[in-house]
Amino acid sequence: MMALHHKGKKDPTMIRIRLLLALTALLLATTGCSVNQVTGERQLSMPMSEQIALGSKQYMPAQQQQGGRYVVDPDLNVYVNRVGKAVAQPSPVNLPYEFVVLNSDIPNAWALPGGKIAINRGLLVLLEDEAQLAAVLGHEVVHAAAEHSATQMRKQQILGVGVVLAGVAATQSDNKSALLVATGAVVGAQAYQAHYGRKQELQADDIGINYMVAAGYDPRASIELQETFVKLSAGGQSNFFSQLFASHPPSQNRVDRNRAKAEKLPTGKRNKAAFQRAIAQVKKDQPAYDLHAKALKAVGDKDYANALALTNKAIKKQPNESLFYVTKGQLLAAQKNDKGARDAFAKAARLNPEYFMSQLGLGVSEVKLKNFSNAKQSLQKSVKLLPTSLAIYNLGEIEEKQGNRQQAIEYYKQAATENSDIGKAAQQKLKTLGANQ
């Protein structure tokens, strides 16, 4: 029976259909139909030059929001990049592949369009040998080369979800509290997260095995990898692995399919000794990272005194880890120990000048100490690495205090676009300065 609608009222079904048609038209306008070189399937495809540009643009913000690069042992990044390039070499798609190790406890790995790939320190310590690492990286290479990453990112852009947010929001207008609450234990929560479908995951498993075998690795490592993930997904720590499982959902079916394929293929190298040498520093420092993880949990429980004590213990075990000094700086800032916070952030920035939180914390601390020249330098570095409303607002305050009204207004206008307490504080500043937004 045909549904009757009162005149003037819009049919919700028709609205949804029109929206779907509009989204489809937008997709067709920005993509073309071609045969995928990796899967052999016809598909709507974004030009590869655009994929490479998109991945390159998002690579640094994505890293910054997930702990930054791991720098305590730079040789580890060289090693992982070498294994990744070897596994990517058999792919028919020639991309500017890059592989980095991120300084995050969370077990995860991801790929952006154009071959920009990352693996977390927290996943490396769960692997046994180089062949298992090759299985992880081969899987991610396929996501990039088969355009799975580009498809997922384009969907999010069209639906207005956003890719990597341009700024990290602060939730309170007081700088000390905002620095602790907004950018502390939850850095990375806003980062882009792909959600691959079952078909894409199976393709990445299947073709990824081909790549690792072509590079000389034992395909049975892919079975062990999926078996590990299935066990972890059923364990009591499944929440800890939520990012990994959200983008790469494990299943017994994937284990069985990998086994069926691997058993038909020749064995290959495992390189266990080389892998264990490569991750020796990370494994040696694991007790320090465990203490830091407990400190972050104490932060979540608002037990700041215990968090600071745990952080100091972590520093004692590994004094070259900048992440520990960032946390110490945040905790001292919360205690209104501005000089102590400044010293901790300065140490973090010396150890890893390319992490936005080190520079942001140092800049905010210097503002509190009225060292405006130093503050401005650090805040500008932090914005270059990852724009945040907190840094931009503080830059506005510096310019205002130094009598540079127009420059202050420009900064406040940027911060005022954000729906947060910092954004509201910036809006109030603009009113005070008599500026029209």
For 14-54, how does the pLDDT look when each residue is reduced to its tens digit (9 = 90+)?
555 555 555 545 544 445 567 666 665 666 567 888 889 98
Tell me the average pLDDT of the chain.
83
The mean per-residue pLDDT over the stretch 209-217 comes to 97
pLDDT digits (tens, 9 = 90+) for 340-351: 999 999 999 999
Q: Give 205's pLDDT tier (boundaries 50, 70, 90).
A: very high
- Reported confidence tier of residue 230, pLDDT bands at 50, 70, 90: confident
Token code pair at residue 237? 């720590």
Would you state the structure tokens that stand for residue 280, as one six-digit string? 């020796």
pLDDT grade for 103, boundaries at 50, 70 and 90: very high
- Residue 240 is given by DSSP the state G
What is the residue extent of each domain of the chain?
48-164+197-271, 320-432
Counting other chains too, the contacts that 199-202 makes at CB distance below 8 Å and 24 or more residues apart are 200/143, 200/146, 200/148, 201/248, 201/249, 201/254, 202/254, 202/257
pLDDT tens track for 264-277: 999 999 999 999 99
Residue 236: its pLDDT value, please?
Answer: 54
Share of the chain above pLDDT 90, in %: 61
Residue 323 confidence (pLDDT): 96
Q: Average pLDDT for residues 364-379, to the nearest whole number?
A: 96
pLDDT class for 164, splitting at 50, 70, 90?
Answer: very low
SS3 assignment, position 197:
coil
**Greater confidence, 147 or 342?**
342
Between 366 and 65, name the one with better pLDDT: 366
Q: Tell me: the pLDDT tens digits for 118-139?
A: 999 999 999 999 999 999 999 9
- pLDDT of amino acid 382: 95
**How many CB atoms sit inside 10 A of residue 103's CB?**
22
Residue 305, Cβ density class (10 Å: 0-12 exposed, 13-18 middle, ≥19 buried): exposed
Beta bridge partners of 23: none
Say what the pLDDT of residue 437 is. Answer: 59
Whether the per-residue pLDDT at 173 is higher than 60: the answer is no
Is the per-residue pLDDT at 190 higher than 60?
no
> Where does residue 75 rank: exposed (0-12), middle (13-18), buried (19+ CB within 10 A)?
exposed
Q: What is the mean pLDDT of residues 317-327?
A: 97
Q: How far apart are CA 292 and CA 104, in angstroms?
A: 11
pLDDT average, residue stretch 83-88: 98
- Whether domain 320-432 has CATH 1.25.40.10: yes
Task: Report pLDDT digits (tens) over 355-367.
Answer: 999 999 999 999 9
- Of all helices (H) and strands (E), which one includes residue 119? strand 116-120
Helix, strand, coil fractions of the chain, as percent rounded to 5: 65, 5, 30
The C-alpha R_g of the chain, in whole angstroms, comes to 24
Percent over 70 (pLDDT), the chain: 77
Q: Which residue has the higher pLDDT, 437 or 331?
A: 331
DSSP H/E element including 32 = strand 32-35
Question: What is the pTM assigned to this prediction?
Answer: 0.83
**pLDDT score for 147:** 78
Residue with the bigger pLDDT between 197 and 79: it is 79
Tell me, what's the pLDDT at 151?
Answer: 76
Angle between helices 389-401 and 372-385 (to 10 degrees): 150
Across 121-154, b (16+ Cβ under 10 Å) vs e yields: bbbbebbebbbbbbbbbbbbbbbbbbbbbbbbbb
Q: 65: which 2 tokens?
A: 């929001």
**For residue 155, what pLDDT is reported?**
62
* For residues 255-262, average pLDDT: 94
Q: Given a cut of 90, is residue 167 above it in pLDDT?
A: no
Of the chain, the end-to-end C-alpha distance in Å amounts to 53
